[in-house]
Structure 1
């Protein structure tokens, strides 16, 4: 603005000087004023030019500073965008891992529920078996005949009384009579071992109640020990009796080595 004003004043001074020359010289005072005005206008133009030369570098410096600031802000913005993208990527990865963990936890929870169900079922079955075993009668016996040595031969059948009782769970065997009495209906496993020492027959009858259901015999041709063992599974009613008889003319041998034995146990009730 000041530069334009100075330029206008300079033009006016030049025009005034030209008019004075064309009018044949306007006087000494006009010349002096015109000269002073011209000098003043030149000083103003010089000052304005100096001010412009001083102000221009400041403007460019500010523009450069603004440009640098914009560049820095753009760089910072890009860095922020990169960090945001990185954070979003990490967030996506974290979300994916969380979803994967949730799926795995869901599968494990399902497996755990299934395992708990099977365990509960197994515990229930075990409890039932324990209850059944607790309620199931326990029957087992194991006996040996005598320590006196030779038994027989006799002229009649003789009921053998196995006097050495090693096991008698359920007290189903009576050593005073030689009878085993079934306490419950079921299938029983019965076994006996016979040892003969004398020359001749060694054998036994196995009786169920009053009926012989098995006869086992060996003929000993030489004086010496002869062994045989037999066993069977019998379905017995509660109260049925099992005992062993020595046939007439037969003999057996037993001592503290327990050569002749009689045993049995309940396989399962019915």
Structure 2
């Protein structure tokens, strides 16, 4: 109950009592006052105590609301951080493929892009099985490896190309006494989105064509923000 309303009620009661007391003897008015006002004073005390309790409860409620808002803000910040981390980690690029076929690929009169047709893994679909080209889907640090097996009687020359530029290579000259050759190379590269990498099998060289020994692989190690 509003304190102003209570005071108005008290004032109204006092006026009524004053009007009623005009024709009442002094002794009766004193007796009525003593019986009425102590109860009213007690009521006012109780009312004041209730108002104080209400104020305390409102303060506590406001503090609780403030703490709840702070908790909601921290929770929202945590959710945003989690979403940001997930966004950064959602891109996974891993591929590995083998030359496929049987016998040998090459030798050719000119350089050829070696197409690895047996795809072991292609998470992110960055490698094209039809062209033999790996296209970087996001900027970052990538790790590339390639290995070969070939007959020793023929020359081997393989080069990892990036946008028409040679990066790293492996070679082996033909010998009359070496029945088979194995070799390979590896490199970390910082790539931009859209960079293309592929393997050149150079003219007058060959590699074994199977699903196990001549392979080309890549892995996105760390993605950069675009």
Q: How does 1:223-242 map to 2 (within 5 A)?
A: 224-242=179-197
Report what 1:265 is aligned to. 219
Q: Which runs of 5+ in 2 are unaligned?
A: 1-73
CA displacement at 1:134 relative to structure 2: 4.9
1:50-104 deviation per Cα after TM superposition (whole angstroms, max 9, x unaligned): xxxxxxxxxxxxxxxxxxxxxxxxxxxxxxxxxxxxxxxxxxxxxxxxxxxxxxx
Q: Where do 4+ consecutive residues of structure 1 move more than 6 Å?
A: none
Structure-1-length-normalised TM-score: 0.50
> What secondary structure, in the 3-state scheme, does the structure 1 residue paired with 2:142 have?
strand
The aligned counterpart of 2:208 is: 253
* 1:180 aligns to 2:118 (yes or no): no
Over alpha carbons, which structure has the higher Rg?
1
Higher relative contact order (CA 8 A, sep 6+): 2
1:1-270 to 2 correspondences below 5 Å? 128=81, 132-136=85-89, 137-221=91-175, 222=177, 224-256=179-211, 258-270=212-224
Structure 2 Cα separation of the partners of residues 165 and 152 of structure 1:
20
Alpha-carbon RMSD: 2.2
Give the distance between the partners of 1:201 and 1:130, measured in 2 at CA: 52
Contact 2:111/2:200 (<8 A) preserved? yes
Which ranges in structure 1 are unaligned for 5 or more consecutive residues? 1-119
Change over 3 Å in CA distance of 1:128–1:220 after alignment to 2? farther
